[in-house]
Structure formats: C-alpha cells, structure tokens
C-alpha cells in the first residue's frame, strides 16, 4: 500500500510540473522529450521530491498515454507568424481609474486611446505627448511606456497556440508586458521604453525567421 501511495505522489507531482511548463508539455506531445534528462531536471529543480529517475520517467510516460495532447501545427503557426506585421510607438502612458470613471475628457486630448475595463480597475492606454492627467479620480499614471502593435490575420486569432508563440520570444528574454490588448487582428503589447528596443528586435527577428522558413 505504501508503494502505491508513493507512485501516486510521484504521478501527481509530475503532472503538476508538466502543466506548469508548457514547453515540456508541448515537447511531450510531439514526442521530442528525452525522458531521463527531463526526469533529472525535475528532480534537481525540486519539482518532484523523494523519488528516483526511473519512477519519474514512468510517470512522464503515463502522463503522455493518459492525457489528450494537441501538438501545435508548427508549419501553420510559422505561416501565420510570417504573415504578421509589426510597428512600435513610444510615448505611451497607462492611466488607471476606477470603473465608471468619465474618461471622455482624456480621450479628447490624445490621438491614441484604448480602454481596458476590469471588475476593479479601468486602464486607459494613451499617447502621452499632449496628455494632461486629471488630478482627481485617478489611481495611478504610468509613463515611459511603448506600444508594440502586431497585426495578424483573422486565422491567427482563431488558432490555438498562436498568441503563446508570439509572446514566447519576449518571455525568454525576461521582458515584462505591462498591458496587452487583443482586438480582432490587432495585438497591442505595452512594454517599458527601456525594454522596447529589445522587445521590438526580438519580435522582428522572430517574424523574419518565420518568413525565411515559409519560403523554404
């Protein structure tokens, strides 16, 4: 009975670790994993404790058999990324206000204006060059930001994994996204102006690589 409980514990720990690491899950679905290497990494990182490599490998294989995985169609994703275009706009600010705030006076001042409404706060994303932030009713004004606008096809918006693929180059470089807006074929990513050059370069390189691959 003790051995069964131990196996269940290992399986649950492996399941949790895989779910928390999309890269591992994707490679598992594509059959690209070196099970032993992943098992050693999970153990070294403390994600699976009190177990040996053989038990972790077995748990990974059970996870693959029992879980319905939908591997991303890499060829289709590459084509969709290749069809995307990108541009950068500096001098962006985020004004955080309470829900119900009358933001019409702010909208009249600026050229770029987007509203992201949540249950407890509303974000106004604006061109900050001519902005005179109101003194009342504002929770926070964050300046020194930039907007990266990625325009893609409607098919991109309907494809599972497409947005993940687009954001991955920023994640691996440690670039934080301050705010994001998805509006049909437009994806607007707000980053700091300090991160903007690296973020724009990473996404531009990613799109150019996709275009090169699509031509092969």
Cα–Cα dist 189/152, whole Å:
13
Characterize 120-156 residue by residue with b for buried, 16 or more Cβ atoms within 10 angstroms of its Cβ, and e for exposed.
Answer: eebbbbbbbeebeeeeeeeeebbeebbbbebebeeeb
For the chain, the distance separating the N- and C-terminal CA atoms, rounded to the nearest angstrom, is: 56
Query: Are 41 and 51 a contacting pair, CB within 8 Å?
Result: no
Q: CATH assignment of 77-215?
A: 3.30.2130.10
pLDDT by residue for the chain (216 residues), tens digit each?
A: 333 334 448 888 898 888 888 778 877 877 778 999 999 999 998 888 888 899 999 999 988 887 665 656 677 888 899 999 999 999 999 989 888 888 887 888 777 788 888 889 989 898 888 777 776 778 899 999 999 999 999 999 888 888 888 898 999 899 999 999 988 899 999 999 999 999 999 999 999 999 988 774
Structure-block tokens of residue 42: 């999970």
**160, 167, 145, 112: CA torsion to nearest 10:** -30
């Amino acid at each position: 009975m003790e051995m069964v409980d131990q196996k269940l514990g290992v399986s649950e720990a492996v399941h949790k670790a895989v779910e928390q690491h999309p890269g591992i899950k994707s490679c598992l679905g594509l059959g690209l994993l070196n099970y032993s290497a992943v098992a050693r990494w999970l153990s070294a990182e403390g994600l699976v404790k009190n177990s040996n490599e053989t038990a972790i490998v077995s748990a990974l294989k059970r996870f693959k058999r029992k879980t319905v995985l939908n591997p991303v169609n890499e060829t289709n994703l590459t084509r969709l990324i290749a069809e995307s275009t990108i541009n950068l706009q500096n001098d962006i600010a985020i004004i955080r206000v309470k829900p119900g705030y009358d933001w019409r006076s702010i909208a009249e001042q600026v050229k770029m204006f987007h509203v992201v409404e949540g249950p407890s706060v509303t974000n106004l994303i604006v061109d900050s060059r001519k902005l005179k932030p109101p003194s009342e009713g504002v929770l926070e004004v964050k300046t020194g930001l930039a907007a990266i606008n990625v325009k893609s096809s409607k098919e991109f918006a309907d494809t599972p994994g497409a947005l993940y693929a687009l954001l991955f180059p920023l994640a691996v470089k440690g670039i934080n996204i301050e705010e994001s807006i998805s509006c049909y074929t437009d994806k607007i990513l707000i980053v700091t102006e300090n991160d903007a050059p690296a973020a724009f370069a990473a996404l531009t390189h990613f799109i150019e690589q996709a275009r090169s691959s699509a031509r092969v």
